[in-house]
Structures are given as C-alpha cells and as structure tokens.
Structure 1
Amino acid sequence: MADLHPLATHPPLDRTPDEETEAAWPDITGGLSVAPAQCFKILHPDLNNPPTRHWDEARAVFGLLV
C-alpha cells in the first residue's frame, strides 16, 4: 500500500469540507473498505476465507489505484 508517512509531516489543510462532501463520506469510506475485498473475486474467483498472502496481494493492487 502507498506510504502515507510523508503526508503526516504536512500541516493540516486550511479548508474544511463542504456539506456535500461530508454527506458523501459514508459512501466513500464504504466503497474504499469493500473494494479490496472485491479484488479477491477478480484475482481468485474460487477463493473463500482468504489467507494473509491473498489480503496482501489485494491490498497491493488496491494501493496502486488509490
């Protein structure tokens, strides 16, 4: 997954999200949490109960997209 540590040193943004953006957060976070799991069905369609190595693989693919 992408290294986010460099972002931690940046000062906070001086803008707050508008109401429309805040209202969309549940959909955005829901989509971001479901998408890596959907990678399993693409990468390994017959896989049930994926082991750690498959999670790592799905996170790596998803990390490229985010």
Structure 2
Amino acid sequence: MSKVSLALLKQRSAAVESCVSEIENMSINKYGEQTEVAEGLRNNWDLLYSMVLDLHENIQDFMGEVKE
C-alpha cells in the first residue's frame, strides 16, 4: 500500500470518526449520559479501526516479502 493510499485511509478514518462523534452527540440523553447505543458504537469503531491498522501492517509485511 502506498503512502498515498495510507493517507487516504487516514483521511477516510477521520471522516468516519467525525460521523461517530456526531452520532454519539445525538445519543446523549437528557441527563447528559451516553446511551448504550453510543457506547456500543464507540466500541465497535475502536475495534474496526484497530483491525484496519492491523490489515495495513500485514499488507506492508506481505509487500516487503514479495519484493525480496
């Protein structure tokens, strides 16, 4: 994966993060507490983001092996 692809991935990740934050803000109840939906969404986003980073590292490792 090229540096351009990584930059694009980071840009898109930031856009998704922004959407998640917006949804979290909309799901705060009248007492100022986040609902279970918001907490679940945040947990799923964190997991997905870490999986994407792991995938990128695996691709980088694979591309290095192919070049050798």
Normalising by structure 1, we get a TM-score of: 0.38
Structure ranking higher on relative contact order (CA contacts 8 Å, 6+ apart): 1
Which structure's residues are more often helix, by fraction?
A: 2
Structure 1 or 2, whichever has the larger Rg, is: 2
